[in-house]
Amino acid sequence: MSLRHALLGLLADGPRSGYELSKTFDDGLAEYAWHASHSQIYPELRKMVADGLIEVVDEGARGRRSYATTPDGRAELRSWMMTAPAAGPVRNEAVLRLFLLSALDQPDAMRLLDAMIESCAREAERLSRSIADMDAQIEPGSGPTFGRYAAEFGYRIYQLQVDWATWARGELTNDVDHK
Amino acid sequence: MSLRHALLGLLADGPRSGYELSKTFDDGLAEYAWHASHSQIYPELRKMVADGLIEVVDEGARGRRSYATTPDGRAELRSWMMTAPAAGPVRNEAVLRLFLLSALDQPDAMRLLDAMIESCAREAERLSRSIADMDAQIEPGSGPTFGRYAAEFGYRIYQLQVDWATWARGELTNDVDHK
DNA sequence: CCGATCATGTAAATAGTTACATGATTTC
DNA sequence: GAAATCATGTAACTATTTACATGATCGG
């Protein structure tokens, strides 16, 4: 049950409301690691309270409730972080399409690879700028934030997709030349 | 509904049984792109027959049934390949744990990073050997197989994780030094 | 003939998505 | 005072996992 651990992990940084947690999924986490919608998050938070992993620490305007981890929650998170198997089942539609490339004919495959190379390159560049911004305004001595780690990962993964697709494009071209 | 398209894509290469499709998921696909168990695959194949996307082309021993794509199925696959959005929701537990690293204390984070670096490096090396094997025994003029594409992707992604984790390890170390 | 593997299935439970629903507060 | 955003929820549906279940064939 990774959603539960994702929520515990985010709350480890400090109290958050369901709404804020939902936002955090939307920027960064959902793109590379784990996606969840608010309709899944709110009920899960209730269950986690019932299970003693988190507790309500503040109630604000508009029914806002902030949650924080309990000692049990932190123990559960640590145990999961340190003992979970290295790889679990993966779901990634973009990668799936890369893998099914050979199901297309040559011109379609080329068109798709070109489109992917372009969109991944654009993303990589966007993240590269975003990283430069972050690095320009950190206070010295403080380590990278969550967002900085995520951006670094994102930059590298988009660059990888560009490189892989460029390589695959070359292989496909050679393939045709030899026929 | 990506499972359906994954199955269509695999069947585009030639007729396969549910059992074989299930095996294909297990080596390569499930690790980087999409996971599915046989208990999900068999019912889905039946639905796809009912929807006219695939058909039974052979019945062999032990109740084995081979499926092949229909023209409708190939059209559906192509349309999905060419028009699906560049990025969908992602699920990847290993990456999630990387992102939640800051929820651990320094020594635990270091231990986890070291373990990840080691296991990813081992995987990268295994794939590197596997790639060398494949490249040694291809007939000249024929393009890379599905497995070759997958292995290339896998190698690069494990290497990326090693590099990212090594970078993160350095950042964490600096962080402590400055305190 | 026995163990491994081939080959398919179903049922129950959990996880996740999509659509619907409501109302408060802030900002302009 | 209207639009945007904050903030939470539920219901129905679909997808996925886990566990149970069965039997055929192949290799030694």
pLDDT at A112: 94
Specify the nucleotide whose C1' lies closest to residue A91 (CA): D16
Give helix B106-136 / helix A71-83 axis angle, nearest 10°: 30
Residues of B in contact with A12 (CB under 8 A): 100, 102-103
Residues with CB under 7 A from strand D: A 17-20, 22, 38-39, 42-43, 45-46, 60-65, 89, 91; B 1-3, 35-37, 39-40, 61-63
The C1' atom of C24 and the CA atom of A150 lie apart, in whole Å, by 33
Give the closest of B13, B96, B160 to A34, CB-based: B96
Among all protein residues, pick the one whose CA is nearest to the C1' atom of C16: A40
Cβ-based neighbours of B90, under 8 Å, separated by 6 or more: A30, A31, A32, A33, A34, A35, A91, A92
pLDDT at B88: 82
pLDDT at B143: 73
pLDDT at A176: 62
Which one of B95, B148, B152 makes the best mutation probe of the A interface by having the most chain A beta carbons within 10 Å?
B95
Pair of tokens at residue A122: 């654009």
* Residue A58, beta-bridge partner list: A66
pLDDT 10s digit of each residue in chain B, 179 long?
899 999 999 999 999 999 999 999 987 789 899 999 999 999 999 999 999 999 999 998 889 999 999 999 999 999 999 998 877 889 999 999 988 998 999 999 999 999 999 999 999 999 999 899 888 887 767 777 777 888 899 999 999 999 999 999 998 887 666 64
Please judge whether A9 and B178 are an interchain contact, meaning their C-beta atoms are less than 8 angstroms apart. no
Pair of tokens at residue A113: 């690879």
* Residue A68, beta-bridge partner list: A55
CB distance B127 to B151 below 8 Å: yes
Specify the nucleotide whose C1' lies closest to residue B63 (CA): C7
Of B121, B124, B158, nearest in space to A90 by CA: B158
pTM of the model: 0.91
Please judge whether A78 and B108 are an interchain contact, meaning their C-beta atoms are less than 8 angstroms apart. yes
* Residue B66, beta-bridge partner list: B17, B58
Residues of A in contact with B35 (CB under 8 A): 89-91
CA distance B129 to B119: 16
Using alpha carbons, list the distances in angstroms from residue A163 to A130, B87, B91, B122, B132: 21, 17, 22, 22, 19
pLDDT at B149: 86
Sign (positive or negative) of CA dihedral B13, B14, B18, B24: negative
CB distance B44 to B53 below 8 Å: no
DSSP for B40-68, written as a single string:
HHHHHHHHHHHTTSEEEEEE-GGG-EEEE
pLDDT at A113: 94
CA distance B35 to B92: 11
- Nearest residue of chain B to residue A74 (CA atoms): B103
Q: How many C-alpha atoms does B104 have within 13 Å on its Cβ side?
A: 22
Please judge whether A95 and B32 are an interchain contact, meaning their C-beta atoms are less than 8 angstroms apart. yes
- Nearest residue of chain A to residue B175 (CA atoms): A143
pLDDT at A27: 76
pLDDT at A177: 63
Using alpha carbons, list the distances in angstroms from residue A158 to A16, A125, A152, B173: 30, 9, 10, 26
Q: How many other C-beta atoms lie within 10 A of the C-beta of residue B107?
A: 8
The C1' atom of C6 and the CA atom of B63 lie apart, in whole Å, by 10
pLDDT at B138: 77
Q: What is the average pLDDT score of chain A? A: 91
Q: Give every residue of chain A whose pLDDT is below 70, as ranges.
A: 175-179
